[in-house]
Structure 1
Amino acid sequence: MVPMAKLPETLASTIKQVHGEKGERWLAGFGELLRYCERRWGLTLLPSDYPLSFNYVAPALLPNGQAAVLKLRVPEDPELPMETEALRRFTGLGGARLLDAEPARGILLLERLEPGRTLKSVRDDEEAARITARLLLSLRLPAPSPGEFAFPTSEMWSLGLQRLRARNGGETGPLPERLVAEAEIRFAELHRTLEEPLLLHGDLHHDNILSSGGEWKAIDPKGIIGEAAYGTVPFLLNNLPEDLTASIALIRRRIEIFSEEMGLNPRRIAEWTFCHRVLSAAWFLEDGAGDLESAIRLAEGLHAIL
């Protein structure tokens, strides 16, 4: 068993910051939770070099020798039900297979993708964009009815800008007013003219696309209802050069590729990307994490190409 002492302090600190007392309780019971998983599935937990940011993830072996991944989250995390259900729905469509789950304990047991290289290993950015476009098409699912399962919607996500104003007496705090106002206007118009609502992965970028045999599969879905163009945004905003001009040029080329491969309106992709960059800056303030200055700078650059 991997002892509690091996939990990175950065992960423990993040869990305390994000989840407060619930996170403290989860950390206190972490050792027993691991022992439960070993008993429940007969797991052999293996040493891990996985990067850990918000959740505990470790490779494991099942009694039959099958390679698996154990993922543990604070069970009160509001994103856990969405991830679990999205994993179930994307299994067989290009998502990592969910082997078992106990959401009440925050436990997910997944197939281990091997060799498990991330999409960052593909040096040709255009090839990486085309791989992502094909995976997005493979994961394409109609939105379930709210009565079937209540995934959040892109419109619900956009309310983060309202919360920003609520925290700042109607103002926008350290975010430029004109950027926030423009994002609010464009979000409203995009949602007024929303194209076919789909179940989107919600976080499909280079680090969440892994090699599996001769194909690529998605991990760590957030599960959100939105149009196909919005599903491209996490990739568009990920793995960018430091230089702003180079970043904008790369994003524009990626948009062209997604438009070609998926038959999407490039202007809508660009608008969703700008709006989401502003929204993510608001989330950085809400969560007390993230590079706010870089987010604002990129939002300015994206606004200039609309």
Structure 2
Amino acid sequence: MHKLPEQFVQTQLELYGDRGSTWLANLPALIAECGRRWSLTVQPPFAGLSYNYVAPATTADGTAVVLKLGVPNPELTSEIEALRLYDGHGICRLIHSDAELGILLIERLQPGKMLSTFADDEQATAIAAETMRQLWRPVPPDHPFPTTAKWAKGLERLRAEFNGGTGPFPAKLVEQAERLYTELLASSAEPVLLHGDLHHFNILSANRQPWLAIDPKGVVGEPAYEIGALLRNPSDELMLDRRLQARRVDQLAEALALDRERIFGWGIAQAVLSAWWMYEGHGHSWEPTMALAQLLDELAR
């Protein structure tokens, strides 16, 4: 097996410690097992591995697929369940899975050009809005998905980490995020199944539809919550572009018939939570996302 990227290895160790180390050691055997189980020819992984090992593969009849492997965790299980419920509508199809081993075999989207390659952000935002419309759907009463309220508990961990304070994070923004989560959750519209991480790198060009999503988190909440991830992408430069973000919010509010104030509110609250998640998981690289929270707060006034 080829050498794994150092950043990918470091991410597994930062997130999972000894479990991550064991998983990395067993990864070659796991790939071989997938090849035997589903008669796959597995190719070298895609560039830019981050949280999971993702590689193109072909089946015995030549069908192009993607093999995705990760340390077994609730997030991967939620992704599997979300893909099952979506059943290919607006998103890649799930072909096989094994939640206990952290394995997904999914449809390969071709040509697979990422939305992040679009130079026209207004057009990219319109494509993202249409993708959101296709994905949002009612959830069964006994659904297995986390809720946006459960995700909000990450801010409680932030407080616990800093003995009730906010550590390196601006106290005003943390307090605002806590308040916004409380207020917005209490006044939310009817919840639906959200992608949960729908941004420019998770929307790809495809043959059976012009654009389809990949990598759903699978979270239950009101539609306006979905927009937060898009505002945090595809680069720090664009994320912190004041004029661009103001236009995005206006465009999405109109295209999706959503309240502009709620989009800003969720954007601020999620930016703070996302910054905390970066700190919690890696201990670094959270500052630009916190700067976005400040920018959105200023635009919302």
TM-score of the superposed pair, with normalisation by structure 2: 0.95
The 1-side partners of 2:76 and 2:234 are apart by: 26
Partner of 1:170: 164
| Aligned 8 A contact 2:40 2:59 in 1 | yes
CA–CA distance in structure 2, aligned partners of residues 266 and 32 of structure 1: 50
* Partner AA of 1:229 in structure 2: A
Aligned partner letter, 2:218: G
Letter in 1 for 2:66: V
Q: Once the 2 structures are TM-superposed, how far is the Cα of residue 290 of structure 1 from its aligned partner?
A: 4.6
Q: Which residue of 1 aligns with 2:13?
A: 16
Match of 1:57 in 2: 54
Deviates more, 1:90-99 or 1:105-114: 90-99
CA distance in 2, matches of 1:85, 1:212: 22
- Percent identity between the aligned chains? 44
Give the drift of 1:299: 1.5
Helix, strand or coil: the match of 1:117?
coil
What letter matches 1:281 in structure 2? A
Aligned to 1:90: 86
Name the CA distance, whole Å, in 1 between partners of 2:31 and 2:46.
17
Cα 1:65/1:230, change in 2 over 3 Å? same
Aligned partner of 2:180 among 186, 199, 206: 186
Q: What secondary structure sits across from 2:247 in the alignment?
A: helix
- Residue of structure 2 equivalent to 1:33: 30
Give the whole-Å Cα distance in 2 for the aligned partners of 1:59 and 1:282.
32
Equivalence for 1:216 = 211
Structure 2 runs not aligned, ≥5 long:
none
Aligned partner of 2:257 in structure 1 is 263
1:241 to partner: Cα distance: 5.5
Aligned to 2:145: 151
Q: Which residue does 1:275 correspond to in 2?
A: 269
Instruction: Trace 1:192-203 onto structure 2 (pairs within 5 A).
Output: 192-203=186-197
CA drift at 1:240: 4.4
- 2:45 corresponds to: 48
Q: How many residues align?
A: 299
Shift of 1:50: 3.1
Q: CA deviation at 1:284?
A: 1.9
Give the counterpart letter for 1:69 in structure 2. Answer: V
Q: Per the alignment, in what secondary structure is the counterpart of residue 277 of structure 1?
A: helix
Which residue of the other structure, out of 235, 243, 253, is the alignment partner of 2:247?
A: 253
Q: Tell me how far 1:162 sits from its aligned partner.
A: 1.1
In structure 2, the residue matched to 1:235 is 230
SS at match of 2:245: helix
What displacement does 1:292 show?
A: 2.3
Secondary structure of residue in 2 paired with 1:141: coil
C-alpha contact 1:50 1:58 (8 A) present in aligned 2: no
- What letter is aligned with 2:48? P
Residues 123-147 of structure 1: CA distance to partner in whole angstroms, max 9, x if unpaired? Answer: 11111111110110001111332xx
1:303 aligns with 2:297: yes
- Provide the rounded CA distance (Å) in 2 between the counterparts of 1:180 and 1:160: 11
Whether the 8 Å contact between 1:144 and 1:199 is mirrored in structure 2 is no
Distance 1:240 1:71, change over 3 A: closer
With over 3 angstroms needed to count, the CA separation of the structure-2 counterparts of 1:253 and 1:240, relative to structure 1, is: farther
Provide the residue aligned with 2:69 in structure 1: 72
Cα deviation per residue 1:237-268 (whole Å; 9 max; x = unaligned)? 21246378x61221111111111111111110
Q: Paired residue for 2:120, among 121, 124, 131?
A: 124
Instruction: Tell me, in whole angstroms, the C-alpha distance in 2 between the residues paired with 1:258 and 1:223.
Output: 21
Partner amino acid for 1:304?
E
- After TM superposition, the score normalised by the length of structure 1 is 0.94
**Deviation string for 1:182-220 (max 9, x for gaps)?**
111111110110111011000000000010025101000
Report the counterpart of residue 294 of structure 1 in structure 2: 288
Q: Residues of 1 paired with 2:45 and 2:20: CA distance?
A: 22
How far apart, in 2, do the equivalents of 1:10 and 1:291 lie? 14
| 1:198–1:228 contact (8 Å) kept in structure 2 | yes
Tell me how far 1:102 sits from its aligned partner: 1.0
Distance 1:259 1:243 in 2: 19
RMSD of the TM alignment (CA)?
1.5
Moved more, 198-207 or 279-288: 279-288
1:237–1:251 Cα contact (<8 Å) kept: no
When residues 159 and 274 of structure 1 are mapped into structure 2, their CA distance, relative to the original with a 3 A threshold, is: same
